[in-house]
Amino acid sequence: MPFRERVSGALIVAPMTKGSNLPYRRLCVELGARVLVSEMVVARRLKQKRRSEFALLRKAPDEPCFGVQLAGNKPEEMAWAAALAEARGADFVDVNLGCPIDHFTRMGLGAALGRQPGRVRKIVEAMRAAVTVPVTVKIRLGWKADQLNYMELARAAVEGGASGVFVHGRTREARYRYPANWEAIAEIAAALPVPVIGNGDLLFPHEVRDRLAASGCAAVMTARGALIKPWLFRELATGYWDITGEERLALYRRYTTLALEHWGGDEHGRARARDFLRWHAGFWCRYVPRRADGSWPSMQQREVNERPRSALEALLERADEPALDYLTDELLNGGDLAAPPPVPAASPDARDARDIRDGRVEDAVVAG
């Protein structure tokens, strides 16, 4: 099926280091997601035969359309990695041109590669020659506000044979400090002959529909939205879901089951599953429902739900470490969450909000 048809009208699960892990993608599929992208896979690490990197190529059994995102800046290496990903079941392969993290940009990867459109064209060309599945790129708008190169970069990728362009509507320097620039995304969608997929700040179903309609994009994509409320995919079919604490808990329990199925129930598997659960809990607690006056909280503002309807909802919105550890352990042990720890004196909420805006979320994830 042509790439345009495959993605048309979809809300895609974005590539996320740690975040788009296999069991989490399965949860999103169960909730209605139909196109999903892997965690970032570093081509060089595949060459080095690192097992942990190979694990990231795995497609879930029930995954309708799975893209593998590759990071690398050598055409031959990227072509080889793309062929490997295809052989392991990838439905498309994507090039990371947006990763902002110093560790990678210093090696000329991610957003640093995005400053070299000529090289990007060659990489896409080489990948195209090595695979039969579509090759896509994921770009930002530029390195910083006075160095916007999105049109040149997107065009170079298309010249190289890219079948689609994902656009995160911010610069590398901006991190998450400002809202995504959907005007620039629309400009790219209007200019390119291939499908453009817009990305940035989608959290509620009306935002998905409005951005899709107004931007001219073939599809849109969400990262933090999927982490904070994986039921966003279901809402696209059924409308805004005023979800209860119990209903949320059932989804978190489902992820726990999928995580244990994936990593295994032995000591090692349970430790892996715990690590991921604890990490996801740090996003789940950020969910805020529609406000009492009918208006919508935005992705950029960390709000606190002033109206928890039950003791469980009050627990699920706590962002302090004892609460997140408690939720994680109760999920892992099938507990009933009946005895939450006391709220510590100083709440870390303010720090969390800053971290999310300044992009330390991604940095913290990839540092390990």
Ligand X SMILES: Cc1cc2nc3c(=O)[nH]c(=O)nc-3n(C[C@H](O)[C@H](O)[C@H](O)COP(=O)(O)O)c2cc1C
> Is residue 93 a contact point for ligand X (CB under 6 A)?
no
Please report whether residue 289 would count as binding ligand X according to CB under 6 A: no
When binding is defined by CB under 6 A, the residue of 125, 201, 330, 355 that contacts ligand X is 201
Judged by CB under 6 A, the residue of 148, 151, 191, 365 near ligand X is: 365
Any idea which residue has 């390195």 for tokens?
143
Indicate the SS3 state at residue 195. coil
Q: At what angle do helices 267-284 and 321-333 cross, to 10 degrees?
A: 130
Stretch that binds ligand X, among 118-126, 181-189, 219-227, 320-328 (CB under 6 A): 219-227
Other CB atoms within 10 Å distance of the CB of residue 65: 20
Active-site option among 28, 65, 99, 217: 99
Select the residue interacting with ligand X from 163, 181, 199, 328 (CB under 6 A): 199
The alpha carbon dihedral of 17, 18, 19, 25 has a sign of positive
- Binding residues among 117-176 for ligand X as defined by CB under 6 A: 138, 168
Return the residue of 23, 31, 39, 352 that touches ligand X, per CB under 6 A: 39
SS (H, E, C) 126-179: HHHHHCCCCEEEEECCECCCCCECHHHHHHHHHHHCCCEEEEECCECCCCCCCC
Candidate ranges 44-52, 74-82, 157-165, 220-228; the one touching ligand X (CB under 6 A):
220-228
Asked if 281 touches ligand X (CB under 6 A), the answer is no
Rounded Cα distance between 257 and 262, Å, is: 9
d(CA 143, CA 115) in angstroms, rounded, equals 7
Q: Report which of 225, 328, 317 is spatially closest to residue 270, judged by C-alpha positions.
A: 328
Look up residue 332 and give its amino acid. Answer: L
How many Cβ atoms are within 10 Å of 88's Cβ, its own excluded? 13
Residue 225 in contact with ligand X, rule: CB under 6 A: yes
Q: Which is nearer to ligand X, 219 or 223 (CB)?
A: 223
Is residue 192 a contact point for ligand X (CB under 6 A)? no
Binding segment toward ligand X, per CB under 6 A, in 25-33, 91-99, 232-240, 310-318: 91-99
Kindly state the DSSP code that residue 289 receives in the 8-state scheme.
-
Binding to ligand X (CB under 6 A) within 10-29 occurs at 14-19
Q: What minimum distance in Å lies between the beta carbon of 223 and ligand X?
A: 3
Place of tokens 């055409």: 75
Q: Does 352 bind ligand X (CB under 6 A)?
A: no
Q: Which of 11, 13, 95, 202 binds ligand X (CB under 6 A)?
A: 202
Q: Which residues have CB under 8 Å from 320's CB, separation 6+?
A: 343, 344, 347, 348
| Number of shown-chain residues binding ligand X (CB under 6 A) | 26
Residue 99: active-site member: yes
Please identify which residue in 6, 224, 262, 302 interacts with ligand X, judged by CB under 6 A: 224
Contact letters for ligand X, residues 303-322 (x by CB under 6 A): --------------------
Burial of 84 (0-12, 13-18, 19+ CB in 10 A): buried
Q: Closest separation between CB of residue 171 and ligand X, Å?
A: 12
Give the binding site for ligand X (CB under 6 A).
14-19, 39-40, 69, 96, 98-99, 138, 168, 199-202, 222-225, 299, 361-362, 365
Q: Which residues are catalytic?
A: 99
